[in-house]
Amino acid sequence: MSNLDLDALSLGELKQLEKDVAKAIGNFEERQKAAAFEKVDALAKDLGYSLPDLAELSVSRKRPASTPKYRHPENAEITWSGRGRKPAWLAEAIAGGKSLEDFAI
């Protein structure tokens, strides 16, 4: 690595150097990713698979949407499944004296 006297550079030169370094880092990372991809792809082929076949295994499986159990009294499109945090409208109603069963579907 060369010894570069940064103190001798102007602000413009330093900013250009910063851009050049960022670009060089990006290019380096892309080359590293490409090399890693080639290695993994070759290993997958050796095992009789394609990389997309293996990649689909790592995709998270989403659970189906939960069935709504509670409905907003004024807007029937707003529901809650009973999972996770209580929606604000339901928490406010319960704090106001209503019971959870009042909103059951």
Q: What is the pLDDT of residue 18?
A: 97
Q: Is the pLDDT of residue 2 over 80?
A: no
Cα within 13 Å of Cα(78), Cβ side: 10
Q: What is the pLDDT of residue 54?
A: 83
- Going from N- to C-terminal start, the domains of the chain cover 9-58, 70-103
pLDDT tens digits, 40-96? 999 999 999 988 888 877 666 677 888 999 999 889 899 999 988 999 999 999 999
pLDDT tens digits, 5-46? 999 999 999 999 999 999 999 999 999 999 999 999 999 999
Residues 6+ apart with CB under 8 A from 93: 73, 102, 103
Q: Quote the tokens at residue 27.
A: 């290019």
Q: What is the pLDDT of residue 104?
A: 92
Strand intervals (E) in the chain: 70-71, 79-80
Statement: the pTM of the whole predicted model exceeds 0.85: no
